[in-house]
Structure formats: structure tokens, C-alpha cells
Amino acid sequence: NTNLLILDEADASVDAEGAELLNDVLKTFTSSNIFIISHKGDLLRDKVNDVITFELVNNFTVIKAE
């Protein structure tokens, strides 16, 4: 058993209605750690608890200070 779910661009090929349905499903995982990797950060920001943003600095990926 695990309580970790990692989704990589799961919302990339869905329309707005599909994204809402995906969000509804994810809300049912109440005791899980869910990480969503997405380039649509602005659209997801109000649907998640925390956001970690990464950026490329001198050819290295670093966590962006917010």
C-alpha cells in the first residue's frame, strides 16, 4: 500500500470539463500525498494546497523562491 500519487501532466490533454472531473476525483484521496507536475500552474493554483515552482539557473534545476 502507498499514500503517494504522482501525476505528470495529467491535465495536458483534457478540456476544462475534464480538468474539473480530474480535480473531483483527486479530492476523494483524503489521506494521500498527491504531486501534480504541470505547466498549467496558474490554472491549478487555486485547487491545490501548496505550489513548488522550479526554474533553470545556470543549467541546473532549482526550487524557485516565492
Per-residue pLDDT of 13-60, as tens digits, reads 888 888 888 889 988 988 889 998 888 777 777 888 888 889 999 999
Contact 44, 38 (CB under 8 A): yes
Q: How many CA atoms lie within 13 A of 33 on its CB side?
A: 4
pLDDT score, position 4: 92
Contact 47, 34 (CB under 8 A): no
pLDDT score, position 47: 81
**pTM score over 0.75:** no
pLDDT score, position 31: 84
> Quick check: helix, strand or coil at residue 30?
coil
